Amino acid sequence: MGAAARALADMAGGERLPDALQRHASALPIASRAPARDMAYQAVRRFGRLQALAAQLNRQPPRQPIQALQWVALAQLLEPMRAEAIVVDQAVLAAHRLATEPGRSSGPANFLNATLRRFLRERDALLQVTDSDPQARFDHPEWWLQRLRQDWPQDWESIVAVSNRQAPLTLRVNRRRTGLPDYAQRLSEAGMPSRRLGPYALALEQALPVELIPGFAQGEVSVQDAGAQLAAELLDLADGQRVLDACAAPGGKSSHLLECADVELLAIDVDAARCARITANLERCQLPQADSPGSATVRVADAARPDTWWDGRPFDRILLDAPCSASGIVRRHPDARWLRRRGDLTTLAQQQSRMLAALWPLLTPGGKLLFVTCSVFAQEGEAVIAAFLRQQAGAHRQPLEWVWPDGTRETIGQLLPRSDPDRDHDGFFYALLTRRP
Ligand SMILES: C[S@@+](CC[C@H](N)C(=O)[O-])C[C@H]1O[C@@H](n2cnc3c(N)ncnc32)[C@H](O)[C@@H]1O
């Protein structure tokens, strides 16, 4: 519990949860890492409620990481069927361990014992009080909820409900190596039932470490949300095309592009460390890296500054999977909503517009650019495209349609997150722009 609390304290201080967890959980024995990770994620999913409960329970906010320890323990107590006495004991023990550090007293352990036991005694009343606070009730920051209500007056509650659930582990079957029915059969024989969510998308009924997924290390499958799997399909690829993946790291979509067709791919990202992950992904999928059809070149480069890296040869296809608020993938990255600030949306939308304008001249006449964000905020989707189309007479937005495995056709623009048995995906914005010849 101590490592989960330290990671949560760092997230409350502005750090991404996966980075904080990596640091704090790596010091633990291997068997304790997954439980620490689960505890931290459970707490981040209930962070709005936890803050409101803490405000009710604490006369004065305790120092970190004691505050975070209280959040983690409360999150455990909110889970159904938890052994309550064990949770309180674990929290007290973790606080005692902190107390043995120089300069600490046993006060934190007593404080946790008292407040957690009070929560157990007054649970219903405390939950009722905190229900009046939308941030607690919906576990999202208030400004974020306002934005959702404004953009999606009919759908905002279902977006919030889906975002608060845990996402399934979804796989993309590498069509170059195996077919979806064959792979699903293989999973079933290995005692891993799955359900189909797209032409190459399968969700495992039970999540498990990637090393245990059959064929993962050999690149027969990759982990990728079913909604993210639309990108490569919507780009309308054909063998021999020159393709730019402009914000490519960690390479989930780059490898998908190469699985779809023998294209000459240039995958760029501004972040050198993340670029290394593109290369690792392509290697795992056993996709060649060089400048010929069916291969990829990976470069550290700024998509908004083609003058610093473009060789002047136009692209037939451009994928711009732009940095965004991540408001569509909250169920996979629950820390995103707590780390973002309202003003970030304007900065991100400006950055997206700059990249779009900078990359447009690199497209060959008749070529296509797919603009993607994993956001549900109109400011990072429809608004960016509407402004771009007003300025670019030579750009045309092509209607997009997707057929789900049950045969239902859907017009694709803003894809809202869903968690139905046969429609289970994150939220994305997609716009396909063609350059008039
Ligand atoms: C949404 S992620 C891309 C995910 C990736 N397409 C995939 O499917 O695995 C956005 C990426 O944009 C990169 N990025 C941010 N600013 C950039 C810039 N100016 N030029 C290129 N890449 C940038 C970030 O480093 C990040 O890796």
Q: What is the pLDDT of residue 181?
A: 96
Number of H helices, E strands in the chain: 17, 16
Residue 184 lies in a domain: yes
Cα-based torsion angle of the residue sequence 52, 57, 60, 65 in order, rounded to the nearest 10 degrees: -80
Which residue minimizes the CA distance to atom 1 of ligand 1?
323
The Å distance, Cα 236 to ligand 1 centre, comes to 21
Q: Are 281 and 251 in contact, with CB atoms under 8 Å apart?
A: yes
User: 47: pLDDT confidence band, cut at 50, 70 and 90?
Assistant: very high
Distances (CA, A) of 411 to 177, 182, 234, 400, 408: 30, 30, 12, 6, 10
Residue 154 lies in a domain: no
pLDDT band with cut points at 50, 70 and 90 for residue 286: confident
What value, to the nearest 5°, has the Cα angle with vertex 229 and ends 252 and 421?
125
For residue 147, is it within any domain? no
Tell me: the pLDDT tens digits for 378-405?
999 999 999 999 999 999 999 999 999 8
Q: Report the pLDDT value the prediction gives residue 291, as an integer from 0 to 100.
A: 64
- The CATH number linked to 211 is 3.30.70.1170
> Does a structural domain hold residue 234?
yes
Report which ligand 1 atom has the smallest distance to the Cα of 251.
9
* Residue pLDDT, tens place only, 364-382: 999 999 999 999 999 999 9
How far, in Å, is the centroid of ligand 1 from the Cα of 248?
5
Nearest protein Cα to ligand 1, atom 17:
270
Q: When comparing pLDDT for 31 and 159, which is higher?
A: 159
Question: What are phi and psi for residue 349, nearest 5 degrees?
Answer: -65, -35
Higher-pLDDT residue of 10, 107: 10
Give the residue whose CA is nearest to atom 27 of ligand 1.
249
> Which residue has the least CA distance to atom 2 on ligand 1?
323
Residue 68 zone, left/alpha/beta (φ > 0; ψ -120 to 50; rest): alpha
Q: How many domains does the chain have?
A: 3
Residues 256 and 212 in one domain: no
Nearest atom of ligand 1 to the alpha carbon of 373 = 1
* Alpha carbon nearest to ligand 1 atom 12, residue: 247
Among the three residues 93, 118, 139, which one is the final residue of a domain in this structure? Answer: 139
Helical segments of 172-229, H only: 180-189
How many CA within 13 A on the CB side of residue 265? Answer: 33
Instruction: Assess whether pLDDT exceeds 70 at residue 40.
Output: yes
Say whether pLDDT at 292 is over 70: no
134 in any annotated domain: yes
Q: What is the pLDDT of residue 101?
A: 54
Indicate whether 114 pLDDT > 70.
yes
Q: Residues 360, 257: one domain?
A: yes
Check: CB of residue 15 under 8 Å from CB of residue 306: no
CA-nearest of 196, 200, 198 to 174 is 200
Question: Which residues form the catalytic set?
Answer: 374
Q: How close is the Cα of 326 to the center of ligand 1, in Å? A: 12
Regarding whether 173 and 60 lie in a shared domain, the answer is no
Residues 319, 431, single domain; the answer is yes
In a domain, 160, yes or no: no
Give 263-281 pLDDT, tens digit per residue. 999 999 999 999 999 999 9
* pTM for this entry: 0.94
One domain for residues 80 and 207: no
CATH of the domain at 129: 1.10.940.10
Instruction: Give the closest residue (by CA) to ligand 1 atom 11.
Output: 247
Residue of 247, 253, 300 to mutate, ligand 1, most atoms within 8 A of C-beta: 247
Q: Is the confidence at residue 102, as pLDDT, over 80?
A: no
Give me the pLDDT at residue 30, please: 86
- For 203, phi and psi rounded to 5 degrees? -105, 130
Residue 207 shares a structural domain with residue 319: no
User: What are 269's two structure tokens?
Assistant: 């990202």
Q: Does 239 lie in the same domain as 368?
A: yes
Q: Could you tell me the pLDDT band of residue 437, with boundaries at 50, 70 and 90?
A: confident
Using the mean position of ligand 1's atoms as its centre, give its distance from the Cα of residue 271 in Å.
Answer: 8
CATH of the domain at 303: 3.40.50.150
Closest residue to atom 15 of ligand 1, CA basis: 323
Ligand 1 atom having least distance to the Cα of 231: 8
- Residue 95: predicted pLDDT: 87
Same domain, 200 and 115: no
Do 346 and 424 reside in the same domain of the chain? yes
Residues 22 and 72 in one domain: yes
Average pLDDT, the chain: 94
Nearest-atom index, ligand 1, CA of 250: 9
Residue 46 has pLDDT above 90, yes or no: yes
- 277 CA from centroid of ligand 1 (Å): 12
Q: Which pLDDT belongs to residue 32?
A: 87
**pLDDT per residue as tens digits for the range 58-93:** 998 888 999 999 999 999 999 887 788 888 998 999
For residue 409, which amino acid is it?
Answer: R
Which ligand 1 atom is the nearest neighbour of the CA of 303?
Answer: 20
Residue 122 to residue 40: CA distance in whole angstroms = 24
- Whether residue 111 is found in the same domain as residue 175: no
Distance from the alpha carbon of residue 249 to the mean position of ligand 1, in angstroms? 6
For the chain, give the percent of residues with pLDDT over 70: 97
CA distance 319 to 413: 15
Which residues form ligand 1's pocket by a CB distance below 6 Å? 247-253, 268-271, 274, 302-304, 321, 323, 374
* pLDDT tens-digit map of 182-239: 999 999 999 999 999 999 999 999 988 899 999 999 999 999 999 999 999 999 999 9
Residues 240 and 350 grouped into a single domain:
yes
Domain region containing 307: 230-435
User: What's the average model confidence in pLDDT over 102-123?
Assistant: 85
**251: in domain:** yes
CA geometry: angle 363, 368, 374, nearest 5 deg? 110
Residue 84 Cα, ligand 1 centroid: separation in angstroms? 43
- Local confidence band at 104 (pLDDT 50, 70, 90 cut-offs): low
Q: Ligand 1: which of 255, 269, 332, 347 to mutate, most ligand atoms within 8 Å of CB?
A: 269
Residue 407 located in a structural domain? yes
pLDDT in tens, 301-351: 999 999 999 999 999 999 999 999 999 999 999 999 999 999 999 999 999
